[in-house]
Structure 1
């Protein structure tokens, strides 16, 4: 099929969902797209390689760890690349794709999804895709790879959700996935395998070169057991735009912890396989009723960030809150919507689901933890690697109101004298903000993770586990293990824009780079343990089943429900506060607590043992108090807390 200009259009596009039809109609085939590629001059290649060397040698916080764990020498490889480029001429330089491939391989060798070479135009902002998605499940016979989604309008005989893939370009599918996984970064085998599956049909060209093959041949078994083959061409299209400008000199950009590949892939999957989310986001932005809600689903103003619903499981009725991303630029709007959704969840238990969440704003991840626990949240501290360049950056911004790097200056200055590898560790998230709201959900909570949880989501999962909020249920044996705050090369350039000795240069053709600038350390019982490469090990495991993939995680939610059913809810809440002369009268509702402590304006004022579910008490000379906080205990253990602003 062709459009009015003679350009080829896949047969499924005219039947695609209306919110994305026009967008997909602008896609091109791979051969046509590549005709416009190859725009870098030799001098531009030299500049890009030289800037990569600066970032890895002087800014990259995980360099000693990666060299030791993976037996690699990325800095020497970059020095050799720079040397070879110096000897090349415009006539002898190899094709551009070879330059991109070598530089990408050096970055991928780190096994760090925070530290990337970002391809220039025309690759930036594009995705390569096939009009279907495959996922992995396991049973007694081993691993299986199955079609779970297809673009609306796409069809082939016996091909759809539930179709088992057997071969990929003639290679047994399990081997093809492993070969694909080996090409991409990942901090552990589970993360690499998970990304290998995803990239079989969706590849963000910002981070990966286009596929070598123009089309793929997929062998599959239809529902009748007949072996069939499908030949499908790769298409190139603009991705949906990102939520956050991570290049800007801002507090949001400086507090990023995001797996860019996962963020790009998530937006691509919304475009291709979840157009209803696009429609819901457009409706929410226009203030219109949210369309196409499913059974038990609660409307949200941020459908690209949250999905909230009430689910029936074999163990009871619980809330299920999916957090797709922490990549938001308006922290207040995000927290307000999260609070609103929490208030609508069943009281008996909540499943927090952060699978495939590539992270985002570290504040958004760490500020959310307080809503589910009575304990005071300790944000994860972070460290710079010791280098004169990092010290120069921190000195320049030690009194910056947007990006305050002052806490790290003294230890970096000292490190140059005593030879310490890292600076002292201080949190990015302010502790006051991480505890400003307090507990808002009082039922038991289970967190679901997988190997695509990365960066700020690793931080969230680590904080959830380190503060003992509830059990962590994993569909893989580890999270993605991305433990860093990430900055772009452009942000680093702009942070030293007024420094005439700055080593950073503007990259050509909108090329980019990102680097792990500060490593994160865990708190509580795991205090001091780095998150990078280790990740978060779940307390319980669940292998994804065929039913999970076809019936909206039915078995997984049953498993989570069983964990919730074995936990006891605890609650304390102030139901009435009134002045009685100069005194303050409080009526407090309690559930499953045996002692109540009362604080007024942050000062301890009363403590009483409980015999039933309510407590009435009077605090002398407290009628003018601004706030009251009640804490509930069981056998001396803090289990619930609630704060009420009184004036």
Structure 2
């Protein structure tokens, strides 16, 4: 609030003026959207929640430290990189905590939150959102939230922080989407964001700042300690220019449950930012309850009802598909909210179905805020957007005796064993790089969309989404349009401590069950880029976009209108291809193809991956006859323009 502006205080929803207790929750919680109303009505205030926290014994604290030492010292693939890049020593810090515990008794040990704080600091020090200390009960599965969302815009001379979403039922004088936040509990808002960012483990500056904004109003209590303050005082300017203050209590509630995760070998190829997944589900609950209703319909076997302007998806928590109007034309837009699914094949099938229902002259694939998930889902999707063969990213273990024992115990990990055994002689830090996604699977269905494609990223893209963005850029699929300077830079496959415990019963296993539902995760295999950037690690570096767009206030408040306009400009500048097998017949041992084409001048035809014919073709329709096709099982038609492969179509016979 600047000097001379009118000041209008606003009574809070749970502070000194009419304090709200657990027995009298804020009124707005009873007015939230019906699909989540009962869930949110069970929220409690931070003070009430913390009164029941703190049951770990001294022995249980020691067990947690010991297990953290095993994971970080013997399994954590990025430890050499993090020690060098960030000048940290998490292993030594854990040893010091262990020594301090040995000098304590049940009577003298500090409050449990101090122990959790120390453990969290160790894991956050490596700035790796894959590597987490997950708090035990009663924190596990809970979120802390305020009933609105704040986002940053840089379309003026200085950054501004606007309220962009408000939970249904909440109101305050002059408080609506578009109001500008000036101070946060008395701290200038930009400084408050920077202080928040310093507490979170983003791998680069852009990622940390993005987390600093996000964590103003919603936090996962599994991944972080609860807020230190029981309430916040928000200073804001309304649309009429009046400066006001709002005092709002933090509320604690169970998060929406995660989607069912993969099992078996698929569980070993996850790449997900745990906290981002938690926050994504919390934002659905608070600001997009219609998605909860759609998912309930799917779970009950009913067809979900699409929101206005959208195409109904069988995976409403995963995809949002729609047509967007821009000054450059009408294009398709598909938002991929997460790769966290139990089936990569089902994911790809639904993606292909949705993009087939969208305009074919240009596609915007939007992965902002996507924290990752199943690596197979991200890498198998790439082939649908390009004629070029996909080379999956290779992954490496750090060479330690324990990692070698783990790889020897599993058939699926045996390809890494020879190089890890050789490292005993060579002293190599990392194993050989071997893909998680089989190359034949990354190319078995081929291109499904033939118009130009733009990929939109931001600093909250992480893990499997980093891998997707890197593959998109490394294979030249289209332009990467970023709203931040980097993606989140999480290039790894992540395993939880429970996975080590259950799936790898090696002799004299050092893994032990964790108390009270506590958890730990580490990056186990790091990923390397391919193509022109082959061998470059994704971790800490991320994907630098080809084009940069600064989010405007119109973007934040009017459905990304300027961002879509910029994406439309990029799409309009690219040619639209077509390669359709309109008819396919066999006669006298030959295969006759009737093709519909656009912006192609040649096609090559392959039967069962063997080249059979190459013909020049005009735009429009063309008939191609391929002899010797009696026993062929698949046909692939590659389309070229001026000698460059620009389209490809695969059909089973």
- Structure 2 length normalisation: TM-score? 0.96
Partner of 1:269: 283
Q: Does residue 439 of structure 2 align to residue 439 of structure 1?
A: no
Q: How far off its partner does 1:581 sit?
A: 2.2
Q: How far off its partner does 1:336 sit?
A: 1.7
- Alpha-carbon distance change, 625 to 6 in structure 1, aligned in 2, over 3 angstroms: closer
Partner-residue secondary structure (3-state), 1:405: helix
Partner of 2:614: 607
Q: Does residue 531 of structure 2 align to residue 518 of structure 1?
A: no
Q: How far off its partner does 1:24 sit?
A: 0.4
Partner-residue secondary structure (3-state), 2:424: helix
Which residue, out of 333, 340, 344, partners 2:353?
Answer: 340
Q: For the Cα contact (< 8 Å) 1:127–1:237, is it kept in 2?
A: yes
Partner of 1:281: 295
Structure 1: distance between partners of 2:485 and 2:441:
32
Partner-residue secondary structure (3-state), 1:461: helix
Structure 2: distance between partners of 1:429 and 1:589:
33
Partner of 1:539: 546
Structure 2: distance between partners of 1:77 and 1:583:
71
Structure 1: distance between partners of 2:564 and 2:510:
51
- 1:460-511 Cα offsets, whole Å, 9 max, x none, are 00000000000000000100000100000110111333x3411111111111
Q: How does 1:344-363 map to 2 (within 5 A)?
A: 344-363=357-376
Q: How far off its partner does 1:289 sit?
A: 4.2
Q: How far off its partner does 1:337 sit?
A: 1.0
Q: For the Cα contact (< 8 Å) 1:276–1:292, is it kept in 2?
A: no
Q: How does 1:408-557 map to 2 (within 5 A)?
A: 408-497=416-505, 499-557=506-564
Q: Does residue 341 of structure 2 align to residue 328 of structure 1?
A: yes
Q: For the Cα contact (< 8 Å) 2:639–2:645, is it kept in 1?
A: yes
Partner-residue secondary structure (3-state), 1:12: helix
Q: For the Cα contact (< 8 Å) 2:489–2:541, is it kept in 1?
A: yes
- 1:553-598 Cα offsets, whole Å, 9 max, x none, are 0000000000000011222221111112222111111110111100
Which residue, out of 282, 294, 305, partners 1:291?
Answer: 305
Worse overlay, 60-69 or 619-628: 619-628
Structure 1: distance between partners of 2:160 and 2:260:
36
Structure 1: 5+ residue stretches without partners: none
Q: Does residue 225 of structure 2 align to residue 212 of structure 1?
A: no
Q: How does 1:230-249 map to 2 (within 5 A)?
A: 230-245=246-261
Which residue, out of 324, 330, 335, partners 1:311?
Answer: 324
Q: For the Cα contact (< 8 Å) 1:8–1:28, is it kept in 2?
A: no
Q: For the Cα contact (< 8 Å) 2:394–2:529, is it kept in 1?
A: yes
Partner-residue secondary structure (3-state), 1:182: helix
Q: Does residue 75 of structure 2 align to residue 59 of structure 1?
A: yes
Structure 2: distance between partners of 1:514 and 1:82:
19
Q: How does 1:102-117 map to 2 (within 5 A)?
A: 102-117=118-133
Partner-residue secondary structure (3-state), 1:22: helix
Structure 2: distance between partners of 1:25 and 1:292:
26
Q: How does 1:125-144 map to 2 (within 5 A)?
A: 125-144=141-160
Q: How does 1:82-101 map to 2 (within 5 A)?
A: 82-101=98-117
Partner-residue secondary structure (3-state), 1:394: helix
Partner-residue secondary structure (3-state), 1:159: coil
Partner-residue secondary structure (3-state), 1:530: coil
- Structure 1 length normalisation: TM-score? 0.97
Partner of 2:10: none
Partner of 1:572: 579
Partner-residue secondary structure (3-state), 2:199: coil
Partner-residue secondary structure (3-state), 2:172: coil
Worse overlay, 157-166 or 605-614: 605-614
Partner-residue secondary structure (3-state), 1:487: strand
Q: How far off its partner does 1:139 sit?
A: 1.8
Structure 2: distance between partners of 1:337 and 1:245:
17
**Aligned-pair Cα RMSD in Å:** 1.3
Partner of 2:210: 194
Structure 2: 5+ residue stretches without partners: 1-12, 15-20
Q: How does 1:165-184 map to 2 (within 5 A)?
A: 165-184=181-200
Partner of 1:228: 244
Q: For the Cα contact (< 8 Å) 2:595–2:621, is it kept in 1?
A: yes
Q: For the Cα contact (< 8 Å) 1:571–1:641, is it kept in 2?
A: no
Q: For the Cα contact (< 8 Å) 2:261–2:341, is it kept in 1?
A: no
Partner of 1:37: 53
Q: For the Cα contact (< 8 Å) 2:344–2:380, is it kept in 1?
A: no
Q: How far off its partner does 1:621 sit?
A: 2.8
- 1:233-277 Cα offsets, whole Å, 9 max, x none, are 00000000111447x6x2222101000110000000000111011
Q: For the Cα contact (< 8 Å) 1:387–1:416, is it kept in 2?
A: no
Partner-residue secondary structure (3-state), 1:20: helix
Structure 1: distance between partners of 2:340 and 2:513:
25
Q: How far off its partner does 1:624 sit?
A: 4.1
Structure 2: distance between partners of 1:627 and 1:345:
27
Structure 2: distance between partners of 1:576 and 1:624:
19
